Structure 1
Amino acid sequence: MFAQKLGIELEANMEAVGEIRKHLLGARQSLKAFDLNHDKMPREFDPLKDKLPADIDALFDRAIAAAKALDEDTLLAACHAIEEYFGFPKPNEIVKDAEVPGGMYSNMVAQLKALGSEDLLEDAMKLIPMVRRDAGLVPLVTPTSQIVGSQAVSVALDRKKGNPDYSNPSNQFISLVKGEYGHTPVPVDPAFREKITGSPIEKPYDVSSYKKPANPTLPEYGDAPLASNREEELLMELLPNVANTFLRKRRAEEYNARKAEEAPVAAAAAEESKAAEEPITGPTLKAPMGGRIISVSVAPGDKVKKGQVLLVYEAMKMENDVTAESEQTVKRVFVRPDDVVGTDAVLIEFE
């Protein structure tokens, strides 16, 4: 409509555009269950056939006049009124204030919803500028946008629990602040770097320190190796988190196929159920945030030292080490790799 009024000729087949629009609208309607604005579908309008009401048509003229006069306030008011008529979502002030791209916002909404922590969204969005600034004003594109967004949620959770900011930095955030992702647009404050990484000195990624991911055997699936061929080993090197879940499911399917007439790990499941029913009497380690367990490094009877990594879990696509707060002896472990846990879920009990 603006192009018509400004005398701009569009080199496009508008009939084809109309057909495409119908198909896209149908696709969106079919994904209603996943659409954050499913109750706000845009008004149907075909510029080749439909005519605008006089008051809406006048808004286009007002917007053009305001643009020529460099009157930004009137221009925005007219454009927002046009958007409202067509049913477009209103500008998200939270997104604007946090200075984040829309895709990053929608990802955070989806991930927090999956974790059942939607109440943290507004606080986390307000914290993004601070976290981004502390990390050296990194660009909000993949993967640094995910790292910053996840850490903002973690800080929001810290404040909700009354803990200091950055009580639980993700492994990726630590690597970013350390310098392993390269120089940041603005230097990271050495004092902040020391707080997060233990050293004020920027340290680029040392390729000589790379270690090939371990290929563990899986006792629960007949001692099968996690990766059974070179292609699966490469998958583990390129995408370790994805590979771990994918390959475990593949080994489970193969094992169950061989043991179709048996009930796999029935005895272990019964023992776990029995253990879960026993009351917890000792000190416990709880999940700082909801997520998926990636690995468990301890077993009942193990003596652990302060700072020792007990397990690694994934939250909002970021890995987080969970360490021992003091020297203790493990009594029970309540989780296994691939288990999904909620915030404050009990992970380990100590004697």
Structure 2
Amino acid sequence: MSDNVVMSAMNYDSNRPAASNPVKIMDLSLRDGHQSLFATRGRTEDMIQVAEMMDEIGFWALETWGGATFDTMHRFLNEDPWERLRTLKRYAKKTPFSMLLRAQNLVGYRNYADDVATAFVDRAAENGMDIFRTFDALNDYRNFETVVKQIKKSGKHFQGCMCYTLTEPRLGGEVYNLDYYVGKAKELVDMGADSICIKDMAGMIAPYDVYALVKALKAVVTVPIHLHSHFTSGMASMSQLKAVEAGVDILDTCMTPYAYRTSHPAIEPLVMSLLGTNRDTGFDIRKLAAINEVLEKQVMPKYKHLLDDSKVSIIDINVLLHQTPGGMLSNLVNQLREMDALDKIDEVYKELPKVRKDLGQIPLVTPTSQIVGVQTVNNVLHDTPDERYKMITGQVKDLCYGLYGKTAVPIDAELQKKALKGYPRGEEPITCRPAEVLVPELEKAKAEIGDLAADMDDLLIYAQFPVTGKKFLEWKYGRAEVPDSVKPITMESVKKQDELIKKAKAGELVERKADAPAKSERLRTFNVFLDNEYFSVEVDPTGDAPPVVSAPRAVAAAAPTPVAAPLAPKAAVVPAAAVASPVAEAHGTRMLAPMPGMIIKYLKNVGDAVTKGEAVVVLEAMKMENALVAPCDGVVKGIKLKSGDTVAKGAVLCVIE
């Protein structure tokens, strides 16, 4: 800061009366900030650099855990999620910690049995969690019962969420209207909520709608009201100010480097906007600036390769049309790109609201955003004019059965019947609390993982993520080599990479020789494409032998000679037609991966007989499971993959002959 800015800030402080009703702030930088902007790849070592500084600001809470962090840490960062919680507690000792808990989903993507849910909340509390921000993707609070009981038993703060969504451009309509949210707030109070959060995951809430909603809630409940709104549409900052006018108690913000785009409004402009009012935060802008300095210079450079710099605008008004949260939207784009189908994105946008409506107008938040998003992609890529929902994911089937809870409006009857045909649990949907049909899981998980899980924390990693969790535990205890892809990036490597890029742009990657030979007549020009970059490269063959050029000559007509088909290049994309109709080989029919993903498990072994349409392998794509079926009758052969393997689109999963 310049001396003038410092003096100006000091003058503000000297004339700054304490606010009569200061708005409280929860910082999301260490969880939702990096989850929204760079795929939840923030590492504990980088959070430590600012944890003590953030502890001095006066935040109501720091969101440090939950959401996608648990999955991403063990899967992509080789970090123990429990250790992050314990470590950060040692640096930020005064400010309460908050986590995002997906109710009976915990931090995974399905409802877990009651014994897993109870143990998870207990261990989270013991490891240092103070506030449990709890939501259910369907706003079905029956999924709160088990976790809330344990939150209260642990003596912790239960914040109940209402997932905010719309079926109209603005608040209203027959489903998600003011009465709906007021009713949900009353339910949460009856469950013992210590505070209530309006969870606007897609940034859909308009300023005057939030004003009306906060006013209505304050009129019927006495617990604090908390607003969580992503910046995606560009309305969140305006909505925060109107919420403040309406009497909201707590707001969510991020430090500026982790703010805006699909993340949240920044704290610093809000501090200055409320300065000197009866809602003044009381925060020291100089301390916030010091934190930003560290984040900008010592942390963010490590993650710039993950930031989406393809767009000029920091807002996305399309979210007002498709309502897809930013993180899910980026996943959809990446999935389509990997499938060589990015040109289908507009079709996905058109199909998405149709799928959402068919599935009961469910809110789009994890995991329902993934459920709707992946099914939409499946429809666009695999449906035919005479058949919709040709490839239904396992999660859509679970939703139709009732394993996620009750939808706001009934699921399309035809789709529900199709999804539940041959469903293992039964073809009639349930109406009870979902977890009532789930058998206890911990003992089974303990028997499966054996001594690889040293304690309950390890066991809970495996219980929620059997494939990737086991792989992480093998890394953790030295039973498998840690791949370079999950190791941290250092500032030194960032600087080296920046230097290489600088040299490449200047044409200095190869040292120029003073005695470089003159270009010969054999010089050829090649176009080189590297990712999205294009280079024109001149190549001059060395040696005395001139290039051989065959002159065209007339030949007598002859019968064609059979030749071997050329081998496809390693990175070649298998055409969609080949996936839809697997190629018959001399020794059988290849079953190909219709999309990139990870092998969860094979349902059939080599030598097993299968009939056409019978499930053979479960493939995870975008965290959703797809049961892939046999394209023909026969016997399974040629399985060369195993659980945990990552496959590209078109990979041969097995051969059926």
2:648 to 322, 333, 342: 342
Which digits, 9 at most, give the CA deviation of each residue in 1:188-222, with x for residues without a partner? 122220022228743244634537457898xxxxx
The equivalent of 2:594 in structure 1 is 288
Tell me how far apart the structure 2 counterparts of residues 169 and 188 of structure 1 sit (CA, whole Å).
14
Shift, 1:162, TM fit: 7.1
Structure 2 letter corresponding to 1:293: I
Matched with 1:18 is 289
Tell me which of 298, 305, 314 is aligned to 1:33: 305
Does 1:237 pair with 2:463?
Answer: yes
The whole-number CA distance in structure 2 between the counterparts of 1:139 and 1:288 is 28
| Residue aligning to 2:379 | 155
Measure, in 2, the Cα distance between the counterparts of 1:298 and 1:216: 22
The Cα shift of 1:322 comes to 1.5
SS of the equivalent of 1:283 reads: strand
CA gap 1:308/1:7 in 2 versus in 1, 3 angstroms: closer
Q: Which has the larger radius of gyration?
A: 2
RCO comparison, higher one (Cα < 8 Å, 6+)? 2
Flag the structure with higher helix content: 1
On the 8 A contact 2:615/2:628 being kept in 1, the answer is: yes
Report the identity percentage.
29
Question: Partners of 1:191 and 1:337 in 2: how far apart?
Answer: 34
Identify the match of residue 94 of structure 1 among 315, 318, 324.
318
Residues 1:134 and 2:358 are matched in the alignment: yes
Structure 2 unaligned residues grouped into runs of 5+: 1-268, 482-583
Please show how residues 112-191 of structure 1 align to structure 2 within 5 Å.
Answer: 112=336, 118-159=342-383, 164-191=387-414
Contact 1:298 1:310 in 2 (8 A): yes
| Compared CA separation, residues 109 and 245, structure 1 to 2 (3 A) | farther
Q: SS at 1:254's partner residue?
A: coil
Change (3 A) 1:108 1:325: closer
Q: More deviation in 150-159 or 289-298? A: 150-159
User: Which stretch has the larger CA shift, 311-320 or 14-23?
Assistant: 14-23
Give the total of aligned pairs.
274
Answer yes or no: is the 8 Å Cα contact 1:178–1:197 preserved in 2. yes
Where do 5+ consecutive residues of structure 1 fail to align? 41-88, 218-223, 257-278
1:34 Cα deviation after fit: 0.6
Q: Contact 1:284–1:349 at 8 Å: present in 2 too?
A: yes
Distance 2:324 2:311 in 1: 24
Once the two structures are superposed, the pairs formed by residues 301-312 of structure 1 within 5 Å of their partners are 301-312=607-618
How far off is 1:133 after superposition?
Answer: 1.0
User: Matched residues in 2 for 1:6 and 1:229: separation?
Assistant: 50
Tell me, yes or no, if the aligned pair for 1:154 and 1:169 is still in contact at 8 Å.
Answer: yes
Paired residues of 1:95 and 1:125 also in contact (CA < 8 A): no
Q: TM-score, normalized by length of structure 1?
A: 0.64
Question: 1:283–1:350: 8 Å Cα contact kept in structure 2?
Answer: yes
Measure the CA separation in 1 of the matches of 2:386 and 2:446: 37
Distance 1:32 1:16, change over 3 A: same
* Alignment partner of 1:203 out of 395, 411, 430: 430
Q: Select which of 193, 217, 224 maps to 2:416.
A: 193
Q: Distance in 2 between matches of 1:247 and 1:127?
A: 40
Deviation at 1:8, TM superposition (A): 6.6
Tell me how far apart the structure 2 counterparts of residues 4 and 168 of structure 1 sit (CA, whole Å).
Answer: 52
Pairwise CA RMSD: 3.8
Q: Is the 8 A contact 1:286 1:348 kept in 2?
A: yes
SS in 2 for 1:136: coil
Task: Identify if the C-alpha distance between structure 1 residues 323 and 210 changes in structure 2 by more than 3 Å, giving closer, same or farther.
Answer: farther
Once the two structures are superposed, what CA deviation does each residue of 1:19-43 show, in whole Å capped at 9, x if it has no partner?
3444443343442111102786xxx
After superposition, give the CA deviation of every residue in 1:164-184 in whole Å (9 maximum; x if it has no partner).
Answer: 432222111111122111110
Aligned residue identity for 1:254: R
Quote the Cα distance in structure 1 between the aligned partners of 2:469 and 2:272. 52
